[in-house]
Structure 1
Amino acid sequence: MITLITLLSDGKFHSGEELGKHFKISRAAIWKQLKKLQNDFGLTVDSVRGKGYRLNTPLSLLEIQRLSKEITQWPITVLPSINSTNTECFYLLQLGARPPFAITSEQQTAGKGRRGREWASPFGRNIYYSLMVTLKNGSQQLEGLSLTIGLAVLKTLKKIGINDVGLKWPNDLLVNNKKVCGILIELQGDPADLYNVVIGIGINVNMPSLSLNIDQPWTSLQQELGQLIDRNNLLIELNHSLAHYLDIHTQQGFEYLKNEWEENNVWQNKTVNLLQGNQVTTGVMTGIDKTGALKLLVNNEIQHFNAGEVSLRLAPSSVNNENLS
């Protein structure tokens, strides 16, 4: 099935006869395979009499040999489909795999976002990536980790020309207040000793604007740059950037990266609403402290908030001011 998708990934028409000869099966069998492709992978196939079949939009598929050769920081496994790359990392750890190692997939059937949300993961469109690492000194190394990862992704996206990207505390990257990337950190271990940490990263790359019903403003790299993005180049650059920033984080701590994060904070000095369950706290985001905790000016007093089960939104007054600017 993956071979068929690869053949159709150019977005051009291929006749039933051509496909039948390539796979040495009948045109009727090709039709059944195309229906299965649509049902199993959610891909839309156009069928035009006299022309043949094509994917309605081209795909940039992951190239296993190239990625294995050019990503040298840690071993990487490339899968066609998986329930969740984060879940698979923990499974491989149980089987005896030694960190660091990475997993990426063309598709997730149960992708995970923060606070139990589902992460939309259509086949062949985006980056679904998880990196398993072991951190010494437990809880101390976890301070600001998701913010450090945000900086690594930010550097990657700027390198390919996404100049308007910025960081939203604690785990998102935005372009013009539209989400382009989310980060999910999951862990197991002893806070006083070693933590095994999975760093999950989802980047909207070539996702069509009308393909999914997502409950928040979002964008993709393709929409921002107006062209199909090579996901292999993006993954290779992402791993370089992750290795660089993780080295700084583990050797010098997040405090060394604090100023760089604040320089790229999209809501610096904006009025925001912090949601904790049914409680809403409104204040001005003045930045973060050396541990990565949010600093909020509330009634002329600075309050600190850790990530945990919280959500941050622009206050209506800030949204209106941005629309006028």
Structure 2
Amino acid sequence: MKTKVLTLLRENKDTFLSGEKISNELDCSRTAVWKHIDSLRKEGYDIVAVQNKGYQLKKSGSQLSEHDLVSRIKENNLFHHVVYHSLVTSTQVIAHQLVNEGAREGTIVVADEQTAGKGRLGRTWDSQHETGIWMSLILKPLVDFRQAPQLTLVAAVALARALQNKSGQQIDIKWPNDLLVNGKKICGILTELQADPDRIKSVIIGIGVNVNHEHFPQEITDIATSLKKESGKNFDRAELITDILDEFSWLYEAYLTNGFSLIKPLWEAHSLSIGKKVIARRAKDSLVGIALGINENGVLLLQDETGHVHEIYSADIEIS
């Protein structure tokens, strides 16, 4: 019921709604309406009340909440179930547990803070309290194993488009999973699989976005940034999550329907490395060359000094 009250207030944020109108819309008592309003205020929502006018939502709270996110994504065709935690070790860990318990495609796990956020290649991700977006998306695509890495690039495009549209900042993608602003990392993506011998059981895409950070640990100060540091503005994280999910939903549907051909030019439009000299650090060696782009499978193409083009499936990329 609290979710429905919040949805009504948000849908009518430019006007006042009387307690009577809300109670009639939701078929509940005015006392129940007041209790839900009071609960929302305690969560940080700025809801004003004016005699003979009613209630009006002025500002959302800084803390995320399940009912807030549910009220925002109700029109989304893909994401329909939100699992929210104030504090977790990692949203990826929770998502894996949910898949094992039978979670459906379109489930998202969101937290206000992670104590052991997971990054690529076993790295950790600094996940400060109520400053960023820490979430995992559960997908169950009917695709071949070899296509699964393409979903990282689909997510990168969705994030780049949503963050750029909201912040006005140029968002660049560094293959395969980093998003940068002015050369500093603002977002990372971690894609993990659960699979049976003959099929993909689920794809879990972990997303970390530095949103309202003002400071970072000393060891990453020179390489990390946030939307707030770059733009000077605070951002509504729930609104940003909604934008990201909306972008991802249509791109994912287009990908499943038409393949990677639509995603490839969108990814390349945000690519930081195409045409530049890069170092690809792989598990056992490193290659130096010019990044030509990606092929139809999302694999990075790197041309060395002899003219030979290498296909890079997994590596850390450094632009030299």
TM-score under structure 1 length normalisation: 0.75
Query: Would you say the 8 A contact 1:106–1:128 is kept in 2?
Result: yes
User: Residues 1-325 of structure 1: matches in 2 within 5 Å?
Assistant: 60-72=62-74, 73-190=79-196, 192-211=198-217, 213-214=219-220, 217-298=223-304, 299-307=306-314, 310-315=315-320
Write 1 or 2 for the structure with the bigger share of strand.
2
Q: Which letter maps to 1:303?
A: H
Output the CA distance in 2 between the equivalents of 1:188 and 1:157: 29
Give the CA deviation at 1:242: 1.3
Output the CA distance in 1 between the equivalents of 2:109 and 2:188: 16
Query: Would you say the 8 A contact 2:82–2:107 is kept in 1?
Result: yes
Give the CA deviation at 1:78: 1.5
Output the CA distance in 2 between the equivalents of 1:240 and 1:290: 24
Identity %: 30
Query: Would you say the 8 A contact 2:149–2:191 is kept in 1?
Result: no
Give the CA deviation at 1:192: 4.0
Unmatched tracts of structure 2, length 5 or more: 1-37, 46-60
Q: Summarize deviations over 1:250-278 as a string: whole Å, max 9, x none.
A: 11112221112112101110100010135
Give the CA deviation at 1:193: 2.7
Output the CA distance in 1 between the equivalents of 2:126 and 2:149: 28
Classify 1:76/1:89 alpha carbon distance in 2 versus 1 (closer, same or farther; 3 Å).
same
Classify 1:180/1:162 alpha carbon distance in 2 versus 1 (closer, same or farther; 3 Å).
farther
Q: Which moved more, 1:217-226 or 1:155-164?
A: 155-164
Output the CA distance in 2 between the equivalents of 1:131 and 1:64: 15
Q: Which moved more, 1:196-205 or 1:276-285?
A: 276-285
Query: Would you say the 8 A contact 1:207–1:222 is kept in 2?
Result: yes
Give the CA deviation at 1:209: 2.4
Q: Which moved more, 1:133-142 or 1:112-121?
A: 133-142
Task: Classify the secondary structure of the residue corresponding to 2:118.
Answer: coil
Q: Which letter maps to 1:276?
A: R
Output the CA distance in 2 between the equivalents of 1:204 and 1:84: 16
Task: Classify the secondary structure of the residue corresponding to 2:179.
Answer: strand
Query: Would you say the 8 A contact 1:136–1:195 is kept in 2?
Result: no
Q: Summarize deviations over 1:132-187 as a string: whole Å, max 9, x none.
A: 11121331541421111100001111111233111110001011110000000001
Give the CA deviation at 1:203: 0.2
TM-score under structure 2 length normalisation: 0.76
Unmatched tracts of structure 1, length 5 or more: 11-58, 316-325
Q: Summarize deviations over 1:16-72 as a string: whole Å, max 9, x none.
A: xxxxxxxxxxxxxxxxxxxxxxxxxxxxxxxxxxxxxxxxxxx82214322111113
CA RMSD of aligned residues (A): 2.2
Task: Classify the secondary structure of the residue corresponding to 2:121.
Answer: helix
Classify 1:159/1:314 alpha carbon distance in 2 versus 1 (closer, same or farther; 3 Å).
same
Output the CA distance in 2 between the equivalents of 1:68 and 1:158: 24
Task: Classify the secondary structure of the residue corresponding to 1:277.
Answer: coil
